[in-house]
Amino acid sequence: MRTQVAIVGAGPSGLLLGQLLHKAGIDAVIVERQSAEYVLGRIRAGVLEQVTIDLLDEAGVGARMHKEGLVHGGFDMLFKGERHRIDMNRLTGGKNVMVYGQTEVTRDLMDARQAAGLTTVYEAVNVQVHDFDTRNPRVTYEKDGKTNEIQCDFIAGCDGFHGVCRASAPRSAIREYEKVYPFGWLGLLSDTPPVHEELIYANSERGFALCSMRSQTRSRYYLQVPLTDKVEDWSDEAFWQELRLRLDPDARNQLVTGPSIEKSIAPLRSFVTEPLRFGRMFLAGDAGHIVPPTGAKGLNLAATDVKYLFNGLVEYYKEKSEAGVDRYSELALKRIWRAERFSWWFTSLMHRFPENGEIGQKLQEAELDYLIHSEAGSRSVAENYVGLPLDFGL
């Protein structure tokens, strides 16, 4: 099989890149080791920055998002038992975010790709990348007992943190930066109305909590828990009781509980790979970086990686110039490190670090008090949360 761009990974970054390339008249084949059902079954983030919203519109898949997504102009920060609203819309000159689950984004992109009759190979076994340091890269995989080969001009590694693309980069040419946090997020999904119309980020002496949602009737809640905890240690009732203890009185009174649809514990890490280009293979999304979910940057960073890479590929095919693909890693990493900084800072501010003792909690509360009473402090939080412009500082 011959194509222009071989995309490894059919998560949102791979599907978005494939859809944008299709709209630009550039051929792409996507290879995914999991089934389509498995990909859709992942429970992930649900806050979209304006840059991501615009990209989904550009890809022609934004109609359902605009119909069903929830536009948020702010969020609450809870500490010392009281909530304070960060008015993002006012502080950023009218910018908002949209709550629309990653599962729904993936579904919209899958449906668009299927409707266009584009090739996506699911349940591909033993996917391998070859010769990406030459002008004739290849991707091989096994399907139904047969070995298949895709010849291409470029390989886009959109296959996640545990994918084959980053693992195939020469160790001498790659540098990895990582911070693993000493706690995880216990998440619960339930068919219950959200406790509040906007997200609540809670800093409490018992640990961090987040009240989020997927729709007006489906809620997503998180609790900071030790890495030693297991999901089976937490009954639904135990989860709801602990959440109540980390909320303010009004939120406790408004909380509607119910049986969980899904429960899981996710570890938190900050991770960046440098560079993101190896010859004619590029890394995008979780293949190149991971952020703690506190700042809602994971999916949005993946989308902006895709935008930079897409622009470079269009320039290559339409203008016969390699300038865009040559700058991809540099442009993407500038934005990635800014988002990593914000996510690390927000995580450090909102979570309980037992080793820091009581003084650590008091210092967090003092910084939070400054942020909500300082126009400049609140604006900095709001600007970073809604997402910096694509050309910021470039």
Strand partners, 30: 7, 120
Pairing of strands 146-151, 154-157: unpaired
Residue 207, Ramachandran bin (φ over 0: left; ψ between -120 and 50: alpha; else beta): left
Q: What is the side-by-side strand order in the sheet with 277-278?
A: 120-121, 28-31, 5-8, 154-157, 281-283, 277-278
Q: CB–CB of 107/392 below 8 Å?
A: no
Question: Catalytic one among 100, 308, 316, 385?
Answer: 385
Question: Catalytic one among 72, 95, 196, 307?
Answer: 72
Give the span between the Cα atoms of 232 and 223, in whole angstroms: 15
Q: CB–CB of 235/146 below 8 Å?
A: no
Question: Catalytic one among 100, 141, 181, 201?
Answer: 201
Is 320 catalytic? The answer is: no
Is 201 catalytic? The answer is: yes
Question: Catalytic one among 137, 181, 293, 308?
Answer: 293
Question: Catalytic one among 95, 196, 297, 307?
Answer: 297
Is 385 catalytic? The answer is: yes
Structure tokens at 385: 């949360």
- Say if residue 275 is preceded by a cis peptide, omega within 30 of 0: yes
Structure tokens at 382: 């709001």
Which residues make Cβ contacts (< 8 Å) with residue 123, sequence separation at least 6?
A: 32, 33, 34, 35, 143
Strand partners, 86: 75
Residue with tokens 């996510």: 343
Q: What is the side-by-side strand order in the sheet with 200-203?
A: 82-86, 75-79, 200-203, 209-213, 219-226, 175-190, 260-274, 289-290
Rg (CA), the chain: 21
Tell me which residues are annotated as active site. Answer: 72, 201, 293, 297, 385
